[in-house]
């Protein structure tokens, strides 16, 4: 039987990054992946394909709606949907191959098959091969949640996976769930000409976000043509070969919505099917997350768990950071994950990026001991040149220390801008630090400086 120092189960951004770090630290490492392709949800059916389609549809929408203002004229713009999907596949393939290359370079053994624990030290793969390891890292990720009366057929009732691989642009799409995945995919199809209706049970979209961000995004997306039913429950559905009728309840009244595609994006749950965790004593929470301590150790000493499989925001970079920290701790190094510095991004247009505490959370925790500053992109010269002036930057600082404890951006390239906030939180920077740092002009990041100046009571452009 083969023996390894570290066996990683799952090759998503948690697993593959953990495997590479383990190999770098000199551990004899293996990664077991049940799918043919490495890279997990993120590379194959998550972050990467969704961002490809968001980019393609954004370019198309720009051509239709904004190019004329820039003096750019064209005869006819049309979508070749098959080519758009082919490009997405090509990008995914390139990155998946990249992971395989990194495994080779780092001499990581790769085994294709589904892992199952037959004892705390031994796993069986596809009921054939067996291997032993001194340390196991569980990185088996998550899966989409379906509704009891709306099971995925990935034709009419689709999960995000199905929505990323449609063969034609739907005429009408109902999206159940106004979370990050729901609004991103709704944006893609709205831009391509689909009539999109989002049904959300809560009174706001993207609910963990700062309230002002959630409200602003809702207004912007409505302007772009998306229809929202908030405070609305989906009661039942009738599904036929190529359409569905959804019954919703809003303000006590029932009504029907018809669609040729229904995207159910009501959340994801941790995935550990077939691993046999209960049998070896790895315990889970009531919601199905594997329980870990601050070193990512499960209830079995040499078995660790990371990423979507454990409680926390389901984000690729969180999974990767946890993978690195776990392996470094196994190696006896000091390592930790600073969750305050894990940014949450929504790749709508404009983008949304959030970091640290929301204003509501900060008020609940610190009461009046916070200061808040905002700067709007309509006053930012670079945003004006781009023609993308919607949104704002909001910074939250702690009064006594002046430390940055939250940053929330609705605006162009927010996913890139938030990097400044990440670094500031990592380095425990103050609002004064950010306000004094010279920012290039004209740049979108000047809005961060201005928001800090605003919080400090001395805005230049406010």
Active site residues: 441
Q: How many chain residues are in contact with ligand FAD, going by CB under 6 A?
A: 36
> By C-beta, is 158 or 316 nearer to ligand FAD?
316
Sequence-distant (6+) residues with CB within 8 A of 104 are: none
For β-strands 172-176 and 157-158, DSSP reports them as unpaired
Instruction: Considering the complex, state which of residue 356 and residue 373 has its C-beta at the smaller distance from ligand FAD.
Output: 356
Shortest distance, position 325 Cβ to ligand FAD, whole Å: 14
> For ligand FAD, which is the closer residue by CB, 229 or 268?
268
- Those residues whose C-beta lies under 8 Å from the C-beta of residue 99, and which sit 6 or more positions away, are 11, 16, 38, 39, 43
- At its nearest, how many Å lie between ligand FAD and the CB of residue 331? 20
**Tokens 């979370």, residue located:** 179
Could you tell me the CA-to-CA distances from 305 to 99, 289, 290, 295, 334 in Å, in that order? 21, 10, 7, 9, 18
Alpha helices in 305-355 (DSSP H): 316-330
CB of 122 to ligand FAD, least distance (A): 14
CB 237 within 8 A of CB 150: yes
Find the binding residues for ligand FAD in span 265-284 (CB under 6 A): 271, 274-275
Interior/surface letters 98-109, b for 16+ CB within 10 angstroms, e for the rest: ebbebbeeeebb
Determine, following the binding rule CB under 6 A, whether residue 114 of this chain makes contact with ligand FAD: yes
The mark string for 17-36 relative to ligand FAD (x by CB under 6 A, - otherwise) is ---------------xxxx-
In the complex, the smallest distance separating the C-beta of residue 180 from ligand FAD, rounded to whole angstroms, is 7
CA distances from 389 to 249, 350, 375, 410 (A): 36, 9, 11, 10
Interface residue with ligand FAD among 6, 8, 10, 199 (CB under 6 A) is 10
The gap between the terminal CA atoms of the chain, to the nearest Å, is: 69
**Nearest residue to 406 (alpha-carbon basis) of 377, 435, 374:** 374
Cα–Cα separations (whole angstroms), residue 437 to 101, 254, 341, 410: 40, 55, 20, 22
- Binding to ligand FAD, residues 133-172 (CB under 6 A): 139-142, 160
Residue 174 or 306: the one with the smaller Cβ distance to ligand FAD is: 306
Closer by beta carbon to ligand FAD, 139 or else 221: 139
Which is it for strands 392-398 and 344-346: parallel, antiparallel or unpaired? unpaired
Question: Any contact of residue 391 with ligand FAD (CB under 6 A)?
Answer: no
Q: According to DSSP H, which parts of 199-315 are helical?
A: 211-223, 277-280
Q: Which is nearer to ligand FAD, 4 or 376 (CB)?
A: 4
Site for ligand FAD in 60-89 (CB under 6 A): none
Judged by CB under 6 A, does residue 50 bind ligand FAD?
yes
Between the alpha carbon of residue 431 and those of residues 3, 299, 371, 396, 424, the distances in Å are 51, 41, 10, 8, 9
The site map against ligand FAD for 200-239 (x = CB under 6 A) is ----------------------------------------
State which residue, 93 or 461, has the beta carbon closest to ligand FAD: 93
CA 27-29-31 angle, 5° bins: 155
Find the shortest distance in angstroms from Cβ 33 to ligand FAD.
5
Which part of the chain contacts ligand FAD (CB under 6 A), choosing from 7-15, 211-219, 292-300, 383-391? 7-15
Residue 123 CB, nearest approach to ligand FAD (Å): 8
Q: Compute the C-alpha angle 178/265/152, nearest 5°.
A: 150
Find the binder of ligand FAD among 8, 23, 41, 175 (CB under 6 A). 41
The full length of the chain comes to 462
Judged by CB under 6 A, which stretch of 39-47, 248-256, 348-356, 365-373 contacts ligand FAD?
A: 39-47
Q: Helices 446-455 and 414-426 sit at what angle, rounded to 10 degrees?
A: 50
Q: How far is the CB of 358 from ligand FAD (least distance, A)?
A: 18
Max CA-CA distance within the chain? 69
Contact flags string 245-264 toward ligand FAD, x per CB under 6 A: --------------------
* Residues from 286 through 345 that contact ligand FAD (CB under 6 A): 307-309, 314-317, 319
**Least distance between ligand FAD and beta carbon 227 (Å):** 21
Contact of 359 with 365, CB cutoff 8 Å: no
Residues contributing to the site for ligand FAD (CB under 6 A): 9-15, 32-35, 40-42, 46-47, 50, 114-115, 139-142, 160, 181, 271, 274-275, 307-309, 314-317, 319
């Amino acid at each position: 039987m083969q023996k390894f120092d570290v066996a990683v189960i799952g090759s998503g951004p948690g697993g593959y990054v953990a495997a590479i770090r383990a190999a770098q630290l000199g551990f004899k490492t293996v990664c077991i992946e049940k799918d043919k392709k490495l890279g997990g949800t993120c590379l194959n059916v998550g972050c990467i394909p969704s961002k490809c389609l968001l980019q393609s549809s954004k370019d198309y929408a720009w051509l239709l709606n904004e190019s004329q203002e820039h003096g750019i004229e064209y005869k006819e713009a049309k979508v070749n949907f098959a080519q758009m999907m082919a490009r997405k596949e090509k990008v995914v393939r390139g990155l998946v191959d990249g992971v395989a290359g990194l495994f080779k370079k780092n001499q990581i053994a790769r085994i294709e098959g589904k892992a199952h624990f037959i004892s705390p030290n031994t796993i069986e793969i596809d009921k054939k091969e067996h291997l032993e390891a001194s340390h196991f890292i569980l990185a088996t990720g998550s899966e989409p949640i379906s509704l009891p009366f709306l099971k995925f057929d990935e034709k009419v009732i689709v999960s995000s996976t199905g929505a990323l691989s449609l063969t034609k642009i739907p005429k009408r799409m109902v999206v159940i769930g106004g979370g990050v995945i729901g609004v991103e995919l709704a944006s893609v199809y709205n831009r391509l000409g689909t009539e999109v209706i989002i049904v959300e049970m809560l009174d706001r979209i993207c609910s963990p976000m700062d309230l002002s961000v959630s409200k602003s995004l809702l207004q912007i997306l409505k302007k772009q043509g998306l229809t929202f039913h908030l405070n609305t429950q989906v009661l039942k559905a009738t599904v036929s070969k190529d359409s569905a009728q959804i019954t919703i309840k809003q303000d006590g009244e029932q009504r029907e919505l018809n669609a040729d595609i229904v995207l159910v994006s009501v959340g994801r749950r941790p995935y550990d099917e077939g691993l046999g965790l209960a049998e070896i004593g790895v315990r889970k929470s009531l919601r199905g997350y594997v329980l870990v301590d601050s070193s990512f150790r499960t209830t079995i000493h040499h078995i660790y768990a990371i990423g979507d499989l454990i409680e926390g925001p389901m984000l690729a970079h969180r999974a990767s950071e946890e993978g690195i920290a776990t392996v470094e701790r196994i190696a006896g190094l000091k390592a930790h994950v600073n969750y305050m510095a894990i940014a949450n991004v929504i790749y709508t247009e404009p983008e949304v990026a959030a970091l640290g505490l929301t204003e509501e959370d900060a008020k609940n925790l610190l009461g009046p001991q916070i200061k808040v500053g905002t700067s709007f992109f309509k006053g930012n010269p670079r945003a004006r040149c781009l023609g993308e002036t919607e949104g704002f930057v909001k910074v939250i600082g702690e009064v006594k220390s002046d430390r940055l404890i939250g940053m929330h951006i609705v605006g162009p390239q927010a996913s890139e801008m938030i990097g400044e906030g990440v670094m500031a939180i990592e380095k425990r920077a103050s609002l004064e630090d950010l306000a004094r740092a010279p920012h290039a002009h004209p740049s979108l990041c000047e809005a961060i400086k201005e928001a800090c100046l605003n919080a400090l009571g001395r805005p230049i452009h406010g």
